[in-house]
Structures are given as structure tokens and as C-alpha cells.
Structure 1
Amino acid sequence: MAGKTYTDAINALNSLQSNYANIMAIRESGIRKNEMALLEMVEWTRRIGYSTSDFNKLNIIHITGTKGKGSTAAFTNSILSQYKDKLPKIGLYTSPHLKTVRERIRINGKPLSEEKFTKYFYEIWNKLDKSSSPLDRFPHMTPGSMPGYFKFLTLLSFHTFLQEGCKSCVYEVGIGGEYDSTNIIEKPIACGVSLLGIDHTFMLGNTIDEIAWNKGGIFKNNTPAFTVENQPAEGMNVLKQRAQERNTTVTPVPTFTELDNIQLGIAGSFQKTNASLAAALAGEALKSMKIIDKSFDLTSNIKLPKEFVNGLKETKWEGRCQTVHRGDNIWYLDGAHTKDSIEAVSTWFREVVKTSPKKKVLLFNQQSRDANALIHFMNNKLVPDVNFDYVIFTTNVTWDSGNYSADLVSMNTCKEDVDALKVQNSLAEEWNKIDNNSELFVSPNIEHATNLIENLNNGPLDIYVCGSLHLVGGLLVVFDGK
């Protein structure tokens, strides 16, 4: 849009974030998302000139879960990309982003350009600004109000993919499923549920059963659903009930043995489960679009087609079991931030470095969950094979100036706690109980922590970075020097 820049769009988008005080008030109230959240999303859709049925032409694969849903989406997208002659444009919507918000809306694997993001952003913004809703039905949608950050981006993704003429799209759920903003999708062509675990309890529930009920909310009438074979039994039972309610089936996908001989594009042995789920989802989608034969059935353990194998090999997904070489140092990055993901990724790190003679460094932060518990889970998976010589606890603030990179501004944490390094000092105190042989540092920001590590002058280092995708994303921005 004339006169508006990408920076203007990002500043406007950041204004839609919920601040820390509002988030805490909602948590303390005990109020969880309900059907009204989806009704409002349908109304926002109307105000930008669409009906939810318009999104059916995107041939959407809808993916939820607790652990691995983003990786599954990336694998699925990469498999579909092998069929370029029939699918010249494929959309991918994921969250959160690492370095730039444009990563959330990709076409053919590439983040939307700044120019297109700005163009489509203001098309949506202006339509919402100039339209209104009946306040008797939508009392929260007062004149001049806008949807929240994630809702706006979800609307933007639909608009972008339709305007760009995408033939198929992969959508990762934000949180949960039943009341998630993406769940206005009426007729997906396949649904997937990655491994379930305990996370976002204030929104989804405190048990696997409650969480599975929420995740199973993406199932739709007559749309085949798939899940991983190692799902917790109580979660699997609920998913089957949800599928029955929606007049469909949910099929557990075996982990394909031939993946043992394939180097997946995302490292970590646990990714074989996500890759298998992705293969089943892509297969169902390609059948639905009549691109491959309708008799194709991966659950009968047939050999993976070469296109599937190539897609799984070529998958790229930054911030997940990612290795970065900088000089003599090797950085091992993963945004793991739940018990299950921390344990899985720590197993990966242990296996790749346990015979390395280099000194070991931990760079960690988790600002909103039980960070002290997470470092215990991590340590239990590492010892006795890996012990850290240096441990640094940092905030997710990007720069020494005290500023965040514009795309990484976060209003959902307590600024006072961040400024006072409250979480970081608590982590250092807790780590000292775990291992008092490590040299401990507390850092005010990621740039400071990076410089600290690179100036240790104690020979080559193996550096493990985990606890938060915001930390990993900020680190990659610092590496870029932007």
C-alpha cells in the first residue's frame, strides 16, 4: 500500500498482542476459550470479504498436537512440493516464527516477501477498519477494534493464499484445536495429530484427556484423520471418540522402518515419528486431489514413493535440532520448551556430542513455564555423558541496547521480571544445586550472551541452546547481525 512500509505493518501488528497483565487476568479468571472465539473469527472473516467456505478451495491439511506439529507440517509441505507440476503453489501457515513474522506465511517453502506481506497486511487492516459488526451479537467487536495478533495473522494467511492462487495449504494449529483460530476451516482434506502432552494447561485442560478433546476438535465430517502410533492410551481413546462424533476415523500411523536408512532433513531420531505422520497426511491429500492413485495406503506399510523420500530428505526447519558452525564452535539449537520436547532434544544433543572432546556450554531461557523443572528434565537426559563447563541463563531480549528485533517484540511477559533478571537468577540458583562445577553466568540479552560465549577463549566449544523458540530465533537474528 502506498506510503506504508513493512516496519509500519510490523508495528501495527505488534499493537495487537495481548499484554502480560491481560494474559494473567485471563489465567486467574479460569475462563478458557469457548465457541464465541470461533464465532468471532467467522465474523472477522465476513468483514474482510470472505465466507469460510471460500477456504475450502485451498485443499487444506490441518495439523495439531503438542510435540512435533510444526515439524510434521514442514515434512508434509516438503513432500507436497515434490509434485510441482500439479501443485505449482503450496501455502504453509505455522507458528511461532523464529526471526521474522513472515516465516509464518510461506509459499513454496519461502517466507512471504516484505512487499507482499505489507500489501496484504494493509488490505486486511483497512477492510477491518472500515467495517463493523452487530454489537448485540459481538459485544467485544466495537468500532475500531481489531482481532488479536494470532487471529489477524490467520486471516492474513487465508487472504494471502487465496490471492496467490495456492493449490494446497498446510495449516498448523496455534493452540489446541477446538477453539483455535484456524478451526474455521470447514472441509480440510486431511487432519493430523502429533504426539500429545501436557502444555498450555490454562487454556486446554490439566489432563491428557482434556487436551486430547481440544486437539480432536479439528476433526471434520468425512475427513480422514491420522495420528502417531505412540500416542498415550488415554489420549488415543479420546481422539477415537472425537472422530466418531465427527463421523470420521482417526488412524494411528506406524513409524516406517525404512526411515532408519534415510537422513531426514530435520535431525533427531524422534523425527521419524513426525515424518511418518507427514507421509500419511501428504498421501491422503494427494489422493484427495487426484494426484496419486486412490488405492495408495501407507498404513499397510508399503514402500515410500521416491517423491516422499526426497521430500523428507529435503525438509528444512530452522530452530529444530539445528546445527550451526561459527568458527571452531558448533551451536546446537532447538526451541524445545516442554518436558517431553526438552527430554527428546537433550537425547539428540547427548548422542551427537558425547564423544566430542570440546568443552560444553549451555545457553538457556524459558520465561513463562516452570523453567526450573525444565532444566532438571534436561539434565536427567544428559548425565553422565554430557556435563557443562559453562552455563548461561539469558533473557529473550535481542540486543545489548535493551531492544528486541522488531519482529520479535513480545508483550506477553512481565517486563519488570525481565529487567530484574528474576527468572535467570532463579535458574542460576537452581542449576547450582544440580551441578556446582559449572561456571555460571546470567546475561541480560542474547547479544551479550553470544559475545560472552565467543570470548571464552578456552578452545572450541559445543554449545547447546534450548528452552524457547524466542531464544533460538533471537540468536539467529544476532548471528545475522541485523
Structure 2
Amino acid sequence: MNVLRPDGMFPMTKSAAEREIDRLMTLHPKGFDLSLGRIRRLLEKLGNPQDRLPPVIHIAGTNGKGSAAAFSRALLEASGRTVHVHTSPHLVNWHERYRIGAPGGGRFVEDEVFADAIRRVGTANDGQTITVFEILTAVGFLLFSEHPADVAIVEVGLGGRFDATNVIENPAACAIMPVSLDHEAYLGDRVELIAAEKAGIIKRGRPVVVGAQDSDGARDVIVGTAERLGAPAYVHGQDFIAFEENGRLIYQDEDGLLDLPPPRLPGRHQFANAAAAIATVKAAGFSLGVADVEKAMQTVEWPGRLQKLSSGRLTDFAPRGAELWLDGGHNPGASVVIAEAIVEQEERFPRPLFLICGMINTKDQTNFFRAFEGMARHVFTVPVNMSEASVPNTVLAAHAAEAGLSAEPVASIENALLLLRDNWDEADTPPRILICGSLYLAGEVLRLNGTPPK
């Protein structure tokens, strides 16, 4: 992947860090291989940097863990704390995975600092068998151990129990966000099995926050694990809750009630994500003033998740006056909350809905589309150019049709937007266009639009 020009439009020469990562990909082509043995061996050679981090908030879940990390960061920074953040995957540039804490707000890791850390970790690994994700997780621990901060937020990559981030032995708090079916080949084909994998991040005696779960079975597995380990559990709907009242976010726990502005991130599901983050930050031992929480709700950012694109190159391809939305959610659980959020927009301002969708072949494509049955007027299916696992657009269109949607394959996002624009009657209400189905696709959109994450 290439570094963007400052305007985000066209690729430049690859950065030093990207060249190092390309070399790693050649040396270690293996993708997922869930195990902790390799990462522990490597971290031992590096002096166990994961043991020298500031207090860690560790977050797992099928959906919502990235939003919970974003809310947690916003809450902590609003209270004046410096915060490291490790998330994955990235959308446009690898540097997005590592936000280094600094007064006034963290910044993505500088390229030479990143490249140097990759080289040192690669040297320590000394050609041993390992996955690139494991090396890059070690890079994150090394970076965070060498830069002072008050807190580190670490998002699980895949699963939990055997995820490379699960070498953190004494987190300040863990959070497990909504669990649903995804990555079944690695985690199991029942939500209870997946919940057990996510619950693997819970540590004996350390607090865990259980986000809003659609499945009673998943919640029971997580709470049962916490009880077995003597980990204090704070459960959504039991120990804390959030709901909308008169357009405001009402949060309540044993300390009382907070009447807050609605989260800046759209969708009612973000009320529950915000609540989980508040509960997690408090469970980790950090005090929050009312003004801090209010500020966090108004400043939180999480690109590629129900992000409204109001300017940029791609917006110029759309019909005049159209709304253009982007979401990287890629499993049936995510599509349900995305569809619900679009319904909220529809209630405020009705518009005909069109989807531009690309997906990869490890995802449940037909059931992803089912959430939009009766909502979407038409689906344009496109290839996901950033992934070798892209579903052919013709095949994806067939899956959309199987879910009861009108669909056709097109060559690109730009082609879909131009088709809409060229055939749109300007006397009609401008459409609402949702680009969705893959984080790879979301990254491609932000790159093409010239609006990469900052």
C-alpha cells in the first residue's frame, strides 16, 4: 500500500515502514495461525515490552470493539490523559494501527520510528516462523513501551484466547463487545463458542465489562468465565445502561445518572458502545468528570464506520445532492446495526437507498444482504481491489439477489456512482448511497476520495 500525498489523492513512493512490511510479507506469508507460543518467544527476546506498558484496556468482540476503543480514547483524552491506541486492521496506511499518546491528543506513529521498530523486531525474530500480525503486534508493544503515556488501549485482532495481543497478563480492565458469528473457521460455528474465545482475554481478578449482547448464550459464557476467574464483571443492562431520551444519551450505573449529548458517531448502537466505554474506563480506575464525558461524546472519531462523506473526489461522481455513507462492517451482525442506523436517517429525511457493496470470500454474503431487504432499491456489487480474497462482483450480485435484493455487478465504485448520476432524474429526491461490505473496501474508498484517517 502506498503513502498518500497530503491531499490524499494519488500514491507516492512507499514509505520506509511499508517497505519493511513488504519484506516481512515475503519472509512470513502465512496469514492467521492462532497461537501464543511464537509471540511469547519473540517478546522474550525483546525484553518483554508488553510488561512495561502503562495501564492497559484490552478490548475484544465481533462488532463494536473499534468504536469502544475510539470512545475510550476520547474519554481519556478529554480528561487530559495521554493515550496509546493499537487497532487493526488499518484502512489506508499501516501507521493507523499505532496511535502514540501525546498531550493534546495522540498521533499516528511517525514513519521512521515505525520502520526502526519493525527492523528491530525483525532482527530479534531472526528468521523464525511467525505471522506478520504477530510481528506487528510486537512492534506495537515495543513502541508503546518506549513512549510514555497514561493509558494504552489495545484492540484484539481475531478472537481473543489465542490472539497475539493476549500476552497482556494484568490489564487495568477488559471489555468484550457484542459477539456474533464471524471467522467461524477459526473461532467456531456457534455464538457460544465464539464468546468463549473472546472471553479468553479475561484475567483472574481483573475487571471485565460486558457490552450489550444480542445472544443470552454469549453473555452467559462471558459472565461464567469472569465468575470462574474471580474477575469483577460489569454487565450491560445489569450494572450499567444507556438509552436515548429527547435526543440525549442517558447513561446510568451505580454511581448515578449522566444526561449527555448524543454521540457524534451515528446510529443508536453507538449509545451502547459509548456506555461500554464509559463503564470500561471507570472499571480501569480512571475518574471521569461530567464535562469530560460530554466532550468525548462530541469529539469521538472512528473513520469508515457509518462515516458520512460530505466532500472529496468520489462525492463529485454522485448525483447532485446525494448523501454518501461509508461503513466497513462485513458480517450479518454488523449489517443489522448498519441497516438500523440507515432507518434512523430515513426517519429524519426519507431518501431512496442504494448500496455499493464489495465483500471478501470469508464472509456470509447472503445473510449480510438480508438486513437490507425491503430497504435498498438497488445494489451495485464491485470487486474489492485491496484483497486477493475479493468475491467476484457477479457472484456477489447473485448473493444479493438470493437475499431478495435487486442487484447488478459493475466494475468499480466510480462506475456505480456514475451510473446513478447519469440515470438520476434531478426532479426526484436525491438518493442515499451506502458503500459497505468490507473494511478493505472502506479503505479503498477513503483513499480514492482523498480523505484518509488522521
Instruction: Please tell me whether residue 344 in structure 1 is matched to residue 337 in structure 2.
Output: yes
Q: How far is the alpha carbon of 1:52 from its aligned partner? A: 3.7
Map of 1:9 onto structure 2: 17
The whole-number CA distance in structure 2 between the counterparts of 1:10 and 1:456 is: 41
Pick from 74, 78, 100: which aligns with 1:78? Answer: 74
CA deviations 1:102-124 (Å, max 9, x no partner) are 111113555424xx233233333
Structure 1 partner of 2:362: 369
Match of 2:382 in 1: 394
CA apart distance, 1:442: 2.0
Q: CA deviation at 1:468?
A: 1.0
Tell me the number of residue pairs that the alignment of Structure 1 and Structure 2 aligns: 410
- Match 1:444 to one of 411, 421, 427: 411
Question: Which one of 39, 44, 47 corresponds to residue 45 of structure 2?
Answer: 47
Equivalent residue for 1:259, pick from 244, 249, 256: 249
In the TM superposition, residue 15 of structure 1 has moved relative to its aligned partner by 4.7
Structure 1 residue 16 displacement after superposition = 3.9
CA contact (8 A) 1:446 1:471 kept: no
Q: 1:237 to 1:430 in 2, by over 3 A?
A: closer
Query: Quick check: 2:207–2:284 contact (8 Å CA) kept in 1?
Result: no
Secondary structure class of the residue paired with 1:120: helix
Q: How far, CA to CA, are the matches of 1:156 and 1:83 in structure 2? A: 28
1:123 aligns with 2:121: no
User: Which blocks of at least 5 consecutive residues in structure 2 are unaligned?
Assistant: 1-12, 251-259
In the alignment, which residue of structure 1 is the partner of 2:257? none
Shift of 1:125: 1.9
Q: Residue 171 of structure 2: SS of its match in structure 1? A: coil
Equivalent-residue separation in structure 2 for 1:458 and 1:15 (angstroms): 51
Matching of residues 275-294 of structure 1 within 5 Å: 275-287=274-286
**Cα drift, residue 362 of structure 1:** 1.1
2:204 maps to amino acid? N
Structure 1: 5+ residue stretches without partners = 27-31, 133-142, 293-303, 398-408
* Structure 2 CA distance for aligned equivalents of residues 203 and 169 of structure 1: 27
Distance 1:195 1:431, change over 3 A: closer
TM-score by length of 2: 0.81
Equivalent residue number for residue 461 of structure 1: 431
2:222 corresponds in structure 1 to 239
Equivalence for 2:268 = 269
The 8 Å contact of residues 48 and 128 in structure 1, kept in 2 or not, is answered as no
Mapped partners of 1:244, 1:356: distance in 2: 46
Q: Aligned AA for 1:392?
A: F
2:134 maps to what in 1? 151
Q: Is the 8 A contact 2:174 2:209 kept in 1?
A: yes
The aligned amino acid for 2:277 is A
Give CA deviations for 1:56-101 in whole Å, capped at 9, x if unaligned: xx100011111111101110110000121xx2x2111111112222
Q: Distance in 2 between matches of 1:348 and 1:43?
A: 44
Q: Give 1:189's match in structure 2, choosing from 172, 187, 192.
A: 172
Equivalent position SS for 2:249: helix
CA distance 1:7–1:124, change in 2 (3 Å): closer
> Contact 2:96/2:108 (CA < 8 Å) preserved in 1?
yes
Aligned to 1:212: 195
Return the TM-score normalized by structure 1: 0.77
- After superposition, the CA RMSD in angstroms is 2.9
| Cα distance, 1:323 vs structure 2 | 1.2
**Native 8 Å contact 1:212 1:239 kept in 2:** yes
- Spell out, residue by residue over 1:287-310, the C-alpha distance to the aligned partner (whole angstroms, 9 max, x if none): 4xxx56xxxxxxxxxxx7221222
Q: What is the Cα deviation at residue 17 of structure 1?
A: 4.7
> How far apart, in 1, do the equivalents of 2:432 and 2:135 lie?
40
In 1, Cα distance between the equivalents of 2:49 and 2:340?
46
Larger helix share, 1 or 2? 1
CA distance in 1 between counterparts of 2:96 and 2:417 reads 23
CA distance in 2, matches of 1:387, 1:107: 40
Q: Residue 20 of structure 2 contacts residue 119 of structure 2 at CA under 8 Å; is this kept in 1?
A: no
Partner of 1:64: 60
1:144/1:445 CA distance change after superposition, 3 Å: farther
Instruction: Decide whether aligned partners of structure 1 residues 202 and 124 sit closer, same or farther in structure 2, where only a CA change above 3 A counts.
Output: same
Q: Secondary structure at the match of 2:209?
A: strand
Structure 1 residue aligned with 2:393: 424
State the AA in 2 paired with 1:444: A
> Using the alignment, how far apart are the partners of 2:419 and 2:112 within structure 1?
37
Task: Report the Cα offset of residue 264 of structure 1.
Answer: 0.3
SS at match of 2:166: helix
Deviation string, structure 1 residues 421-470 (Cα, Å, up to 9, x no partner): x631022234445567x5x5423344544554555554333111111111
Structure 1 pair 456–100 and aligned structure 2 pair: CA distance change class (3 A) = farther
Aligned to 2:206: 223
1:75 match: secondary structure: helix
Report SS of the residue matched to 1:199.
Answer: coil
Q: Is the 8 A contact 1:208 1:235 kept in 2?
A: yes
Write the letter of the residue equivalent to 1:188. Answer: P
In structure 2, the CA distance between the partners of 1:396 and 1:351, relative to structure 1 (3 Å rule), is: same
Compared CA separation, residues 210 and 479, structure 1 to 2 (3 A): same
Evaluate the alpha carbon distance shift between residue 189 and residue 444 of structure 1 in structure 2; reply closer, same or farther with a 3 A threshold: same
| SS of corresponding position for 2:37 | helix
Matches of 2:144 and 2:383 in 1, distance apart? 35
Counterpart residue number, 1:169: 152
Q: Is this contact kept in 2: 1:447–1:478, CA < 8 A?
A: no
Displacement of 1:255: 2.2
SS of the counterpart of 1:478? helix
CA contact 2:370–2:403 (8 Å) conserved in 1 = no
Alpha-carbon distance between aligned partners in 2 of 1:340 and 1:332, rounded to the nearest angstrom: 18
- The one-letter amino acid of 1:443's match is V
Aligned in 2, Cα 1:105/1:123: closer, same or farther, shift over 3 Å? Answer: closer
User: How has the CA–CA distance of structure 1 residues 41 and 430 changed in structure 2, closer, same or farther, with 3 Å as cutoff?
Assistant: closer
Please show how residues 14-33 of structure 1 align to structure 2 within 5 Å.
Answer: 14-17=22-25, 33=34
**Residues 14 and 149, structure 1, Cα contact 8 Å, conserved in 2:** no
Structure 1's 127 and 466: CA in aligned 2 closer, same or farther, altered over 3 A?
closer
Distance 1:162 1:62 in 2: 16
Residues 160-206 of structure 1 show CA distances to partners (whole Å, capped at 9, x for unaligned) of 22222122111111111111110111111011111111111111111
